[in-house]
A and B are shown apart, each in its own frame.
Chain A
Amino acid sequence: MDDLQRELGPLEDLEDDSDSSDGNSSKGKKSKLPLVNILHAETSRETGFHKSTRACLERIREALLHHRWQEAAEYMACYPQMLDDTTNGTGQQYKELIWRMSAEILHHHPNSKMEDYNNIYERMKHSGVKHFLMISLEHSFHLLHNGHIEDAKHQLSVAESWRHGKESAAQYQRMKLIHAYRSLLDYMIWCDKKLSYINTTEYPDCGENQDMNNYFRHASVNLKDILKTPGIWDPFILSYVEMLEFYEDHEEALKVLNDYAYDNTFPPNPNGHVYLYQYLKRQNTSERKLVKVLKVLHASVPSHELMLEYSSLLLQSEKKTNTQKAFGVVLEMLDFACWRSNLDVWKLLKAIIQKLQLQDDWRDSVAGKMAPRKDWWPVLHFTSFHASTDSQENPELKEVKASLTKILCPDLMLKYTA
């Protein structure tokens, strides 16, 4: 009876992918301690075969963890026989296990060849439906990693056409990724074609090239599709926008970029704002719009590189408050360790202060910005230790900083002297 149930087990398992629940955690008293569940523990219905395969697995694991690849390979030669075992229920996790361990060993074994990889990937791919997509994707990654772009594209196309009844959420996502990566490869071929077309044709009007258009169409469908799903899609959006720009579909490009930057369901990716900013800058958009983008970026990442541009943009504008804003932006940058000894920022700060000093109430605005910092700014920037290191490493920086001490911290006696 038990055997029958175990035989039936795989059918149920087909429906849910690796993210399905297993019995271990649900049954029994659940410990509130955050401990690791011991996998592959001894079970009651164990035969000698199970014991030896479990021991073998333990050895492989040990060897892999200690990076003893040769030893692992030797044990690995024996391990797959456990797939012959029919009493162990579904061999699903074991298949994935074997695939992962074999691939890792091949990564490090001195004698591993591409054929070995292909062998493993192909065999394990077809050994079960559940991990077909995952292994296909990894296979194509491996091919890409080794420069076999055409082969990888073929693998992805094969995986794309794969269908299996009910899809789990993970399989659905994996399928989307496969589509997206295939489209990314399409984009690369498109780039290739574009390059050769531009090089060969006297009149580079690529819009007419049917071949390129095909690739663009192929790519754009999937790229557009994956950009609707929340996630990080930096390479995809970049390639998509590049193609859109090429075909001068600015509306679509802007929409895609705006969505990517401002959609709340997406994770707060600073690159979204950066891409939008860069696109807008390429399109020679007005400074006001650029500042708006950077303002949003400043709110989330005040230490970003683009804050230099942001503050200089603010500085260029004639508005009085913008100078104060720029002052705040630069001060905030200097809060972070990575900017503290950056000469450009200090120079910018000096420039801002000089401009600020043209205003009447500059002392108030400086004091207002410096008030919350007076506890710790001197320690961060203006100790005697800083003075000595700065004068050693960057005398120019020392000069700039020293000139600002009195302005920033007027009522403190600082040891940072020029």
Chain B
Amino acid sequence: MTNAMDYQFPQQLFPSFYNCGPPDLVLKHGAGNWGCYEQVLPQGGSGPLSSWTFTSRHQARGETWRHTEPVPVPLMSPKNCFLWPSKPPNPLDFTKHMQNFFLDHCKDAFGCMGEILSENFEQVHREARLTRMRYGKESVYNVRSDLDMMKFKMCPRSYSSKSLDMYSALLSDVVPSVPPQLLGSLLHEELTEQRDRALFSEGATGGALAFVPFSRSGGDPQRGCLLYPGNQGLDCLNFHRVELQHRSGSSSCVDAGSSDPFSFQLKGPVRQISCVSLFNDCCVAVRSDRLCGVWRFAETDKPRLLQVVNTREVATCINVSPHVLGEILVASESGAANLWNVGRGMQKVREEDGNLYFNAKSSWRWCEFSAHPRVMVYADRTGMELTDIRESPVSSHTLFRISNTPECRRGERLILSRYLGDVHTFQHLVTTQYSAYIMDERFPCMPMLKWDHMMQSPPMFCHAVCDSASSGSAVGGARTTKVVLGSQNSQEITLLQYSGGRAEATSSRGPPRALLRPRDSLKHLPVQIPHRLDLATSRLSSPAAGLTCIQKRGGTESGGKECICILQLTEAGDIFYQTLEPELPDASRPPAAEDEPPPLKEATGSGGQTAQRLRPLDPRLVVSDTSSDEGVLGPTQGPAVPRFVAETPEREQRAPDVHSDSSSEDSEPRGRGRLPNYLGQQVIVNDDPELDRVSGLDAGEKDGEVGRAGVEETVGSSSSGRAERPTPVELSEGALVTWKRWLQKLVQKSRKKTLRPRCPQHLTVKTEDLLLPGGEARDPADEERAQSLRRDLRACMSERSLLVHGTVSAPFQAPGTVAVPDVVDTEAWRDEISHRLTISWQGEGAWRAWWEERLGLNKEEKANALRRKRRAAKEAKRATGRSLDWSGSFTSSVDYQSRLSDFSDSSGWSSAVSQGVWSDTNVHLYQPKGVLENRAATPPTTLSATQTHTPVATQPTTLSATQRHTPVATQPTTPSATQRHTPVATQPTTPSATQRHTPVATQPTTLSATQRHTPVTTPSAAQTSSSTPAPSQTPKRESMPANQRRPKRPANDYLSSLSAPQDEPSQRDGYFLDGESTMDAPAPPVAPSSSQRSLLSQAASLWSGLSPSLPVSQSSQGRPGPSQLKKKKSRMGF
């Protein structure tokens, strides 16, 4: 077991001062002892000067071990667990918690007093008929309904209840069953404690994960028994046979026969597992808070419980004797250390009331065995003592003491001590929150070695891996002993290496090395969608609860490679492992870096395969995972999975129903179309010959392979950034698959339970009716068209091509083209309404100005403006002309209008503006639908983007001419008839009409042409067209200028009520144009439209009578939908 040469003591030790006294060192830099040698020892001797060599206490180089994977890999599928918030609670948040309590458990909070008080209220109510008291029964009912409303999380401002407030003012200190002051202080206390526990919970010291190797030789594969807590509360002790295998090209086997973990249900969470195997017999001691149990098992024997004891105080430590089987040391918070001889009872070894050396205000105690079977180590936060229990008043002397150890730092406390009996008979490891010490029992007080471990939270778990006797691949000659430290809260694992301790003085080898943490692994994995990311992040960052290592020694007889597998348990019950391999001394950098093709190429082809081929040897921990988790298989089982996880058949059968949703979640571009390959039959999904050739080894590989194409890309691109780095450890195929499945199962697990079942946060509005006109019969032809459109759209999306007009309009193509109407000569139409309509094409402003002129409404305004202008001019003169034009433009509406019309007249903007108005109305009218469209349709985005950038400038001017013509052609409406532009009036009445007007394609064809295609005249057809992405683009593009212009409109423009009529004709224009051009459409719109028009006109006249001057704010209030819509869309365009 131990090296027989351990009795040697170093002939020379490194020089060091021996300082006593309270430590006051505060390290200001965070660099620890990087870069320093600390001390040197001369070696050689008495010869010439050049014969002397020096060894330093901190040697720069240690063994180089490299990770086989860039992430730790989960060992088992995720189980249900309780997830604590990753952030420690803030004690000052107690009001929030009180509020939650009052809301969630109102029966408990107010039950008693509520019952009592309600009687009184009833009495009061009887009297209240006369006196009309303010606090009557009715108001109590109101309060009750208000309270019911409180279940919904709502904005407290908008949903405040007056009566509730009054009652709370009146009764707040009476009603709660527990007085709020008391509850508050207790909660604060509790939260403080919880925070402390979250930051540092000393109960977990030692760790609840252990591995017992079965054969000491350490051949290939390395078998053993992994001990870990299971279940949600970690209150189930599992004995699980595991096997560390080397996965080479062909050899891989699963020990399926004895795969069930042997579990014992305990009465409390497992805090610490200590085990020792002696003579092929293993003794396992398990510490729970107040229970300690001892099990015994061997490779051939099943574990059996030997004895359980109940400790009066909380037990803080349990340790099995490495010398005598069945001797266990138990320490508890009372300060007593007991030697527990299984079957024979407890014997108190030592008891301390206070701390050993100074008052550290800690009741944490620790005890351990030492090199001598009857000398114990008794430790607390201040230090540790060697206690000889043979003598009746036990004699003890200091082994480690915070203040006596050189270069202790202020506030340093002992966190963990561990007897390193397996490594060296006399060595102990002591960790504090800053440092790790190697102590030698033979030379107490002075540490043989000290590191700054540079971990962010104190190391509470450790595992020492002794230097394997078989040397050869070592870099620096002598082998090193590795100490792996694990911290709880931050999950850090640090690897320290040292050598010596026998004939040579102990010296550290290389700086501390941080190993991988589960919480960092998501960076290396495919990108997750946000809620899964949150879930996975919080799960992965739950604090660590244990640490152990499986060491595999390279032996010539087995031919296996040496490696260390480090397993880490988290409080969520997950175990992650990472494997370290010694770096070959001749290859300074691993060959994988150069050999692998550029990662981005991998993404397109069979990248995963290449990676796999290049990694013939991949040590991997194998667990036959048939534990009772009813989780379901994900769709993407890669090549490796079936080898490692023996799935129960019923789980596989359940796979299909999961497949559909998980594949959609998994951001696999081709996931949906394929057949799931969960039963292992070969499915050819890719014609790539190379892929076929490669995957010939394993038929089942295909599925995961192709599905992961998108995934590879993300991995590849992230790795391409550090391509030149000498650490090109790529995520291997198997690990990736394991992770994917793990994440999928995690999501499935979490879907079943919600931590806090509450009512939905907001009152929901059902949108189904809005989406589908309920119960309306659909024309099968339309259905067909819609289907074909959907198909086209999907095809376009999958090819990442544009959905061009031709594709869209093909199913709707009217037989025979309709000629473009002639350009309208506006001069020819001289009557008033034609003039007005012509003006209206110049823009809303011009049109309004026309109306103002016409109605003479702006006389006063004009006079005012004139006056103001003069005044302004005078002032401007006084102020010697600064920003004169500005003030003018703001004050004078005429000026503004003219400017505006100037603006709209210039170049092709006119058409844009007029269209804007027009389409604005459209969109406004269909607001609900427009929004829905916007959500539903995900257009080929590049298209709309380019069009927004070059809006109308590209359109020929003839286009505007065409459109200017349109109103004239239609001219159906009078302004009075169209003054019905309040949303309330219009929206219910014109659903069918509005839907019909969504203009479709925006393609290089002229706009008039597009408009010809637009009118899918039946409501149902309009519905189908709305499912295509194209319609939603058109209004956006066209309305952009109008949208830009709107904010400029003077806020107090009382004529804006007239803006409503302006909309109508243009809308009608569109409508009538549609009617003209698509008479061949299946259902002519004439009848509904006319009836609606009359309805509209009635309503409008009513409104015009009621509110001749609709404030602009209101009219524009009707529009936020469209404007938002447009903005949204423009964003979507990119």
Residues of A bordering B, CB below 8 Å: 18-22, 24-25, 32-40, 61-62, 64-71, 92-94, 96-97, 99-108, 110, 138, 141-142, 144-145, 147, 149, 173, 177, 180-181, 184, 188-189, 191-192, 195-196, 229-236, 238-239, 265-271, 274, 300-301, 303-305, 335-339, 341-342, 372, 376, 379-380, 383, 385
Is B17 in contact with A40, judged by CB distance below 8 angstroms?
Answer: no
Is A372 in contact with B371, judged by CB distance below 8 angstroms?
Answer: no
Q: Contact mask B368-387 → A, CB, 8 Å, 1/0?
A: 00011110000001000000
A-B contact pairs, 8 of them (CB 8 A): A141-B40, A235-B15, A274-B11, A303-B442, A304-B7, A338-B426, A342-B4, A379-B323
Knowing A25-B26, A103-B36, A235-B42 touch, does A149 contact B12 (C-beta < 8 A)?
no
Is A147 in contact with B50, judged by CB distance below 8 angstroms?
Answer: yes
| 9 other A-B residue contacts (CB within 8 Å) besides A177-B15, A236-B15 | A35-B433, A39-B28, A39-B29, A97-B29, A100-B32, A144-B40, A149-B52, A303-B372, A372-B390
Is B446 in contact with A232, judged by CB distance below 8 angstroms?
Answer: yes
Set B7, B9, B411, B433: member contacting A25, Cβ < 8 A: B411
The CA-CA distance from A239 to B458 in the complex, in Å, is: 41
A98 to chain B, nearest CB (A): 9
Knowing A40-B30, A233-B15, A335-B373 touch, does A21 contact B53 (C-beta < 8 A)?
no
Set B5, B12, B426, B434: member contacting A234, Cβ < 8 A: B12
A304 — which chain B residues lie within 8 A by C-beta?
7, 9, 442
Is A379 in contact with B325, judged by CB distance below 8 angstroms?
Answer: yes
A189 — which chain B residues lie within 8 A by C-beta?
49
Pick the interface stretch among B228-236, B509-517, B798-806, B1045-1053. Answer: B509-517
Is B7 in contact with A336, judged by CB distance below 8 angstroms?
Answer: yes
Set A19, A69, A103, A145: member contacting B35, Cβ < 8 A: A103
A163 to chain B, nearest CB (A): 21
A62 — which chain B residues lie within 8 A by C-beta?
514
The CA-CA distance from A16 to B33 in the complex, in Å, is: 20
B556 at the A interface (CB under 8 A): no
Is B442 in contact with A191, judged by CB distance below 8 angstroms?
Answer: no
Is B425 in contact with A338, judged by CB distance below 8 angstroms?
Answer: yes
Set A36, A173, A195, A300: member contacting B458, Cβ < 8 A: A36
Return the chain B residue nearest A106 by Cβ.
B35
Is A235 in contact with B425, judged by CB distance below 8 angstroms?
Answer: no
A303 — which chain B residues lie within 8 A by C-beta?
7, 371-372, 425-426, 442
Residues of B bordering A, CB below 8 Å: 1-18, 24-37, 39-42, 45-50, 52-54, 56, 60-61, 64, 196, 199-200, 279-280, 323-325, 327, 361-362, 371-374, 381, 390, 410-413, 415, 421, 425-426, 432-434, 442-446, 454-458, 494, 511-514, 588, 722, 724-727
The CA-CA distance from A270 to B942 in the complex, in Å, is: 80
Set B39, B373, B421, B456: member contacting A380, Cβ < 8 A: B373
A267 — which chain B residues lie within 8 A by C-beta?
18, 443, 445-446
Is A335 in contact with B49, judged by CB distance below 8 angstroms?
Answer: no
A343 to chain B, nearest CB (A): 10
Is A34 in contact with B28, judged by CB distance below 8 angstroms?
Answer: no
The CA-CA distance from A106 to B34 in the complex, in Å, is: 11
The CA-CA distance from A39 to B27 in the complex, in Å, is: 9
Knowing A19-B24, A93-B29, A305-B9 touch, does A141 contact B458 (C-beta < 8 A)?
no
The CA-CA distance from A149 to B390 in the complex, in Å, is: 52
Is A21 in contact with B28, judged by CB distance below 8 angstroms?
Answer: no
The CA-CA distance from A97 to B415 in the complex, in Å, is: 26
Set B2, B17, B18: member contacting A338, Cβ < 8 A: B2
Set A66, A191, A235, A266: member contacting B514, Cβ < 8 A: A66
Is B34 in contact with A103, judged by CB distance below 8 angstroms?
Answer: yes
B426 — which chain A residues lie within 8 A by C-beta?
303, 338
Return the chain A residue nearest B495 by Cβ.
A67
Is A104 in contact with B35, judged by CB distance below 8 angstroms?
Answer: yes
The CA-CA distance from A247 to B81 in the complex, in Å, is: 75
The CA-CA distance from A268 to B441 in the complex, in Å, is: 11
A158 to chain B, nearest CB (A): 18
The CA-CA distance from A183 to B880 in the complex, in Å, is: 89
A300 — which chain B residues lie within 8 A by C-beta?
442
The CA-CA distance from A368 to B49 in the complex, in Å, is: 56
A355 to chain B, nearest CB (A): 24
Is B15 in contact with A180, judged by CB distance below 8 angstroms?
Answer: yes
A40 — which chain B residues lie within 8 A by C-beta?
30
A65 to chain B, nearest CB (A): 4
Is B457 in contact with A35, judged by CB distance below 8 angstroms?
Answer: yes
B5 — which chain A residues lie within 8 A by C-beta?
338
Knowing A35-B199, A144-B40, A376-B373 touch, does A107 contact B588 (C-beta < 8 A)?
no
Knowing A231-B18, A266-B18 touch, does A191 contact B446 (C-beta < 8 A)?
no
A135 to chain B, nearest CB (A): 9
Return the chain B residue nearest A230 by Cβ.
B18
Most buried by B among A94, A100, A106, A189: A100
The CA-CA distance from A177 to B279 in the complex, in Å, is: 49
Return the chain A residue nearest B502 by Cβ.
A338
B454 — which chain A residues lie within 8 A by C-beta?
61, 65
The CA-CA distance from A376 to B434 in the complex, in Å, is: 38
Is B3 in contact with A338, judged by CB distance below 8 angstroms?
Answer: yes
Knowing A191-B46, A232-B446, A336-B7 touch, does A38 contact B456 (C-beta < 8 A)?
yes
**7 A-B pairs closest in CB distance:** A103-B35, A93-B28, A34-B413, A107-B60, A338-B6, A65-B514, A385-B279
B10 — which chain A residues lie within 8 A by C-beta?
271
Return the chain B residue nearest A62 by Cβ.
B514
Is A337 in contact with B513, judged by CB distance below 8 angstroms?
Answer: no
B49 — which chain A residues lie within 8 A by C-beta?
149, 188-189, 191-192
Return the chain A residue nearest B727 by Cβ.
A68
Is A234 in contact with B15, judged by CB distance below 8 angstroms?
Answer: yes
Knowing A147-B53, A304-B9, A336-B425 touch, does A33 contact B200 (C-beta < 8 A)?
yes
The CA-CA distance from A1 to B27 in the complex, in Å, is: 27
Is B36 in contact with A305, judged by CB distance below 8 angstroms?
Answer: no
Is A71 in contact with B56, judged by CB distance below 8 angstroms?
Answer: no
Knowing A36-B433, A64-B511, A188-B49 touch, does A271 contact B34 (C-beta < 8 A)?
no
The CA-CA distance from A25 to B443 in the complex, in Å, is: 33
B722 — which chain A residues lie within 8 A by C-beta?
71
B193 to chain A, nearest CB (A): 11
B711 to chain A, nearest CB (A): 24
Is A195 in contact with B47, judged by CB distance below 8 angstroms?
Answer: yes
Is A338 in contact with B30, judged by CB distance below 8 angstroms?
Answer: no
The CA-CA distance from A232 to B361 in the complex, in Å, is: 33
Return the chain B residue nearest A141 by Cβ.
B37
B1075 to chain A, nearest CB (A): 63
A32 — which chain B residues lie within 8 A by C-beta?
361-362
A239 — which chain B residues lie within 8 A by C-beta?
42
The CA-CA distance from A192 to B325 in the complex, in Å, is: 56
The CA-CA distance from A408 to B34 in the complex, in Å, is: 53
B512 — which chain A residues lie within 8 A by C-beta?
65
B200 — which chain A residues lie within 8 A by C-beta?
33-35
The CA-CA distance from A275 to B204 in the complex, in Å, is: 44
B725 — which chain A residues lie within 8 A by C-beta?
68, 70-71
The CA-CA distance from A304 to B441 in the complex, in Å, is: 11
The CA-CA distance from A106 to B60 in the complex, in Å, is: 10
Is A270 in contact with B47, judged by CB distance below 8 angstroms?
Answer: no
B41 — which chain A residues lie within 8 A by C-beta?
234-235
The CA-CA distance from A238 to B280 in the complex, in Å, is: 46
Is B410 in contact with A21, judged by CB distance below 8 angstroms?
Answer: yes
The CA-CA distance from A410 to B484 in the complex, in Å, is: 45
Is B9 in contact with A141, judged by CB distance below 8 angstroms?
Answer: no
Knowing A34-B433, A36-B433, A270-B443 touch, does A376 contact B28 (C-beta < 8 A)?
no
The CA-CA distance from A229 to B7 in the complex, in Å, is: 29
B455 — which chain A residues lie within 8 A by C-beta?
36
A25 — which chain B residues lie within 8 A by C-beta?
26, 410-411
